Amino acid sequence: MRILKEFKVPNFKFPKIKMNTISELDEVNIEEHRDKEKRKEIKYAPTNFKTIKEVFEKVTNEYKDEVFILEKFDHKAPFTEIKYSKFREDVIGLGTGLTKVLNLKDKRVVIIGENTYYWYVSYMAMLCGVGIAVPVDKELPANEIENVIKRANASAVIYSTKKKEVIKKVKDNLPQVDYFIQMNSDAEINAKDVGVEYVIEVGKKIVESGDTSFIDIPIDPEEFKVLIFTSGTTSQAKGVMLCNRNLAQNINVISAYVYLDHNDRWFSVLPLHHTYESSIGFLLPMSRGASIAICEGLKHIVPNLKETNPTALIAVPLLVENLYKKINDNIVKSKKDKLVKSMIHLTNALKGVNIDVKRKVFKEIYENLGGKIRIIVSAAAPIDPKVGEWIQDIGISFLQGYGLTETAPIAALTPEFDPRVGSAGKAVTCASLKIDKPNEKGEGEVLIKSDTLMLGYYEDKKATDEVISEDGWFNSGDVGYLDDDGYLFITGRSKNVIVTQNGKNIYPEEIEILLGKIEEIKECMVYGKEEKGSKELLISVKVIPDYEKVNEKHGENLTDEQIHKIIWEEVKKVNKKLTSYKAIKNLEIKKDEFIKTTTMKIKRYAEIEKSKKG
């Protein structure tokens, strides 16, 4: 199912950097700043959960008095704090109501809406025994939502209030759906309509009467429990079938590489329908008794960070790179760039002798991100290594993950105790990676064998057999290599590869990272452009200029031709760093936003098709 969403990163605003803490360094007690991470004996070991219900039972009892979800139900009001005890009661209440009142046991239920408390409750109720959860992208147009509901053969739809009008448009075309259940509504059953809060309250009364049938439902770790339709960037979406084992193993293996506990707070900004957010941004922190702060929206990221003080942020490269650029632009405008660079060198030297004063030196930068941030995780696409190195240099652990919806999603992850910026990480403890038919550089398609690997594609055995070999290796479609220590480096996407007439392979991502260093470029996409009368593809790049930076460096009121010339001169400098067959031959200035998936990846196929149509 194609997602024609246009994503636009907001213009983050940060206050001027003063770096007043530098003058306080002489008074620092060095012993108090000995690297605590090296002094305390952290045990990195995998957990052994078999199902998500097992996780739910453990943490909601053990951390019942701790805050789990923070959400702003009113922009003008403070964040509401919801404890694990309420989450447990609501999940059990909803699960009981869905199974005992609405008769949805073992049925398929679509969940659609923005990141909000009742999304978490609904998904957990499904995983704990109701039936099969079908998370759906809220950005899909009405006809696509209708198609997904039909294709999933869903018996119910749980939707957020913001999707109410869309559901109204499609419900008459969905006679097979028994119930349309609205979040944040206590409406009683009226034909097929009902409020989720009503279902929860009815379920709670049944539980209070002594009925424990829902919480007693046994969970088979291998049973098909989640159906996710991939957004896809080059082909029609497939339905990925996941089981509890897939999801539980994501939780288990991360604990072998990253230390997390109930004091951590995750910042939720990516869409929950995607496995990256629902597994790593929801199930993982829940498994540790940690809390989750729900961002109100991209334009509210900075104030929400300051209001909720998260310790961990999982994001995609586009978001991380924009935060990096805005913070560093601000440092330059504050005329503190030379000071920051010198302090990075100094604090790195101190860190080398086990003295860590980074949080004190770069306090103002931390405050821009909420004050307590200690981990930033980037996944879904390659990122410029200099961004990760800078994040590490100011004292934040920069981790990268790798995987697909088909691996639920984690297959590789950077160990916190041995990071390699630029790498997508090492195979997680339940997985193996190998490179198929490596070339002279060791590059080839990445193959994955993992306990997180999907059961298969929904109603599509042929497609399943095409990507999973008889001995269990999954063809990822990504191109990369493994270093001597087993760290994975992704160099391209095989489906995106541009093949020249003489058989040379060009991976656009490799060139895009270099172009991304040009200050005048906000976003870009490299592709092979078809030309009439020629069999050879023209290596082209579509560019969205950073007009703010162009104005700042070259003056305002420039014509399109002048902007094109400025950027082309910079592109030519990049060309000198490339072998001749990879050089950009054509530059196109793009006026509108790129077509994106909800994880902010450019939909190359859609963009190329759009170009062909003119």
Which CATH number covers residue 114? Answer: 3.40.50.12780
pLDDT-derived band at 41, boundaries 50, 70, 90: low
- Nearest-angstrom CA–CA distance, 413 and 399: 7
Residue 579 falls inside a structural domain: yes
What is the mean predicted confidence (pLDDT) over 573-595?
Answer: 90
pLDDT-derived band at 503, boundaries 50, 70, 90: low
Write the CA distances from 551 to 301, 332, 440, 565, integer angstroms. 25, 16, 44, 14
Q: What domain count does the chain have?
A: 2
What is the mean predicted confidence (pLDDT) over 454-459?
Answer: 96
Residue 225 falls inside a structural domain: yes
- Nearest-angstrom CA–CA distance, 479 and 494: 6
| 393 neighbors 350 (Cβ within 8 angstroms) | no
Q: Residue 193: is it exposed, middle or buried by C-beta count within 10 angstroms (0-12/13-18/19+)?
A: middle
Q: Identify the pLDDT of residue 33.
A: 57
Q: Identify the pLDDT of residue 127.
A: 98
pLDDT-derived band at 439, boundaries 50, 70, 90: confident
Residue 550 falls inside a structural domain: yes
- Helix, strand, coil % (nearest 5) of the chain? 40, 20, 40
Higher pLDDT, 236 or 20: 20
| Global confidence as pTM | 0.84
What is the mean predicted confidence (pLDDT) over 436-449?
Answer: 92
Instruction: With CA atoms as reference, report the closest residue to 375 among 362, 384, 383, 366.
Output: 366
Residue 180 falls inside a structural domain: yes
What is the mean predicted confidence (pLDDT) over 145-160?
Answer: 96
What is the mean predicted confidence (pLDDT) over 563-592?
Answer: 93
Structure tokens at 237: 């979406």
Give the CATH number for residue 507: 3.30.300.30
Q: Identify the pLDDT of residue 80.
A: 98
> Of 213, 245, 277, which marks where a domain is finished?
245
Q: Identify the pLDDT of residue 39.
A: 42
The 3-state secondary structure of 198-236 reads: HHHHHHHHHHHCCCCCCCCCCCCCCCEEEEEECCCCCCC
Angle between helices 385-393 and 337-352 (to 10 degrees): 70
pLDDT in tens, 213-233: 999 999 999 999 999 987 543
pLDDT in tens, 461-487: 998 998 999 999 999 988 899 999 999
pLDDT-derived band at 574, boundaries 50, 70, 90: very high
User: Of the given ranges (203-212, 301-310, 532-541), which has the lowest mean pLDDT?
Assistant: 532-541
Q: Identify the pLDDT of residue 28.
A: 55
Write the CA distances from 211 to 90, 121, 214, 215, 506, integer angstroms. 15, 20, 8, 9, 62
- Nearest-angstrom CA–CA distance, 375 and 312: 5
pLDDT in tens, 524-560: 999 988 888 777 789 999 999 999 999 999 999 999 9
Residue 346 falls inside a structural domain: no
Instruction: With CA atoms as reference, report the closest residue to 571 among 590, 554, 588.
Output: 588
Computed over every residue of the chain, the mean pLDDT equals: 90
What is the mean predicted confidence (pLDDT) over 333-355?
Answer: 91
Residue 435 falls inside a structural domain: no
Instruction: With CA atoms as reference, report the closest residue to 133 among 164, 101, 157.
Output: 157
For the cut 90, the answer to whether the pLDDT of residue 114 exceeds it is yes
> Of 212, 245, 278, which marks where a domain is finished?
245
What is the mean predicted confidence (pLDDT) over 290-305?
Answer: 95
Residue 594 falls inside a structural domain: yes
> Of 216, 245, 274, which marks where a domain is finished?
245
SS3 190: strand
User: Of the given ranges (23-27, 136-140, 283-287, 493-497), which has the lowest mean pLDDT?
Assistant: 23-27
What is the mean predicted confidence (pLDDT) over 493-507?
Answer: 72
Residue 505 falls inside a structural domain: yes
Boundaries of domain holding 574: 497-613
Q: Identify the pLDDT of residue 13.
A: 77
